[in-house]
Amino acid sequence: PTDQTSIALFLCHPLHWPSLPAQRKYMRSPPIPEMATQEVQLNETLAHLKTESETLKTKLEEERAKLHDVELHQVAEKVEALGQFVMKTRRTLKGHGNKVLCMDWCKDKRRIVSSSQDGKVIVWDAFTTNKEHAVTMPCTWVMACAYAPSGCAVACGGLDNKCSVYPLSLDKNENLAAKKKSVAMHTNYLSACSFTNSDMQILTSSGDGTCALWDVESGQLLQSFHGHAADVLCLDLAPSETGNTFVSGGCDKKANVWDMRSGQCIQSFETHESDINSVRYYPSGDAFASGSDDATCRLYDLRADREVAIYSKESIIFGVSSVDFSLSGRLLFGGYNDYTINVWDVLKGTRVSILFGHENRVSTLRVSPDGTAFCTGSWDHTLRIWA
């Protein structure tokens, strides 16, 4: 189990679904013999629904299987194989006092925000490795952080069950904590957060099993997303050209695709054998990759509505904590709990490179906005820029 899973178990609240109106038909107060009959009726309806759901699940698998005429790597056989890769650590960012849990790039392709187990959130200039801002959160295990599209604010949260936004000041002496704005409130830890296309809305996922969309200015809940049966660990927004959807992954081994406006889950994929720690859209928006504690990464095509590739090797037995694509989608980078980064040829399904350097688990990995480098964060307290 990932460390996040251990935290979840430690903090476990029973999940409660939002309360639904009672089934009035069955709630009239009857004499006792009638009660027994109604109990029987309820059980029959329940059994009927169970059968219907089993039938639908089978039908879903059959429909998906009908279109499974070929494997992705077979289609890609004629594509030229990739050459040798020279990718090295180009910068090491030192300054966190404990495990780095999350990081995000600024749209300016040089600044980075990172968050740590010790409660610190740091903004770095990755070119120079200088620290530009630092904030100490009131909680430890800041599992999520994100840069605002404007570059003028960062969001973060973790064991405090909240997502807070800090406007970044040009004055480096200014106390950032003073301007902090609490935006999201969950009933369990915050596992991931992301601004949408603007600084005005934030999407969050939580150990409470839900995702939610919030208005930053008012802190109002705009939409909530229910459907995961356990902690939600990760989320990713579809590229803006593709419309208003996002994907989430959870401890229930499911990856769900959601309609942001309606709150509806529109597609669901359950092929992983353990927690899904990371999900990331393919650059065209037509597919997404996932990384799991089952030591595999997988690719799901949204229009074929199924898994189309598995990236795994018998020698890789440690969980994947985080995944991201290169700019063209040809390469998939995975950060693993065995301290390495594996680079996969997305089309052919083969591993093209393995990168060493970190001295503990890789916990977070993101490719820069223009695809010139990628950054990893690790339990070894450092971040590395690779190119």
Partner 1 sequence: MTSNSNLSNMRRLVEQLKLEASVERIKVSQAAAELQLYCLQNAGKDALLVGVPTGSNPFREPRSCTVV
Among 231, 233, 236, which residue's Cα sits nearest to residue 258? 236
Q: Is 28 in the site for partner 1 (CB under 8 A)?
A: no
Nearer to partner 1, 216 or 385 (CB): 385
Q: Is 32 in the site for partner 1 (CB under 8 A)?
A: no
Q: Is 262 in the site for partner 1 (CB under 8 A)?
A: no
Please report where in the chains the tokens 């942001």 appear, as a residue.
260
**CB < 8 Å & 24+ apart, contacts of 344-348:** 344/297, 344/311, 345/81, 345/82, 346/282, 346/289, 346/299, 346/309, 347/72, 347/73, 347/75, 347/76, 347/79, 348/73, 348/76, 348/77, 348/79, 348/81
Q: Is 261 in the site for partner 1 (CB under 8 A)?
A: no
Q: Is 27 in the site for partner 1 (CB under 8 A)?
A: yes
Q: Is 64 in the site for partner 1 (CB under 8 A)?
A: yes
Give the shortest CB-46-to-partner 1 separation in angstroms.
Answer: 6
Give the shortest CB-315-to-partner 1 separation in angstroms.
Answer: 24
* Alpha carbons 353 and 348: distance in angstroms, whole number: 14
Q: Is residue 252 classed as helix, strand or coil in its secondary structure?
A: coil
* Alpha carbons 139 and 309: distance in angstroms, whole number: 39
Q: Is 36 in the site for partner 1 (CB under 8 A)?
A: no
* Alpha carbons 210 and 139: distance in angstroms, whole number: 21
Q: Is 237 in the site for partner 1 (CB under 8 A)?
A: no
Query: Which window, 60-68, 112-120, 186-194, 231-239, contacts partner 1 (CB under 8 A)?
Result: 60-68
Q: Is 305 in the site for partner 1 (CB under 8 A)?
A: yes
Give the shortest CB-180-to-partner 1 separation in angstroms.
Answer: 32
Q: 325 with 283: CB under 8 angstroms?
A: yes
Residues in contact with partner 1, total (CB under 8 A)? 72
Return the half-sphere exposure (C-beta side, CA atoms, 13 A cut-off) of residue 86.
Answer: 0
Nearer to partner 1, 344 or 379 (CB): 344
Q: Is 387 in the site for partner 1 (CB under 8 A)?
A: yes
Q: Is 44 in the site for partner 1 (CB under 8 A)?
A: no
Q: How far is CA 373 from each of CA 90, 146, 380, rounded to the nearest angstrom?
A: 9, 18, 20
Give the shortest CB-82-to-partner 1 separation in angstroms.
Answer: 8
Q: Is 110 in the site for partner 1 (CB under 8 A)?
A: yes
Q: Is 306 in the site for partner 1 (CB under 8 A)?
A: yes
As a whole number of angstroms, the longest Cα–Cα distance in the chain is 79
**Token reading at 185:** 């409130």
**Token reading at 367:** 């490719």
Nearer to partner 1, 113 or 142 (CB): 113
Give the shortest CB-254-to-partner 1 separation in angstroms.
Answer: 12
Q: Is 175 in the site for partner 1 (CB under 8 A)?
A: no
Query: Which window, 92-100, 150-158, 196-204, 297-305, contacts partner 1 (CB under 8 A)?
Result: 297-305
Pattern 5-24, binding to partner 1, x per CB under 8 A? ------------x--x-xx-
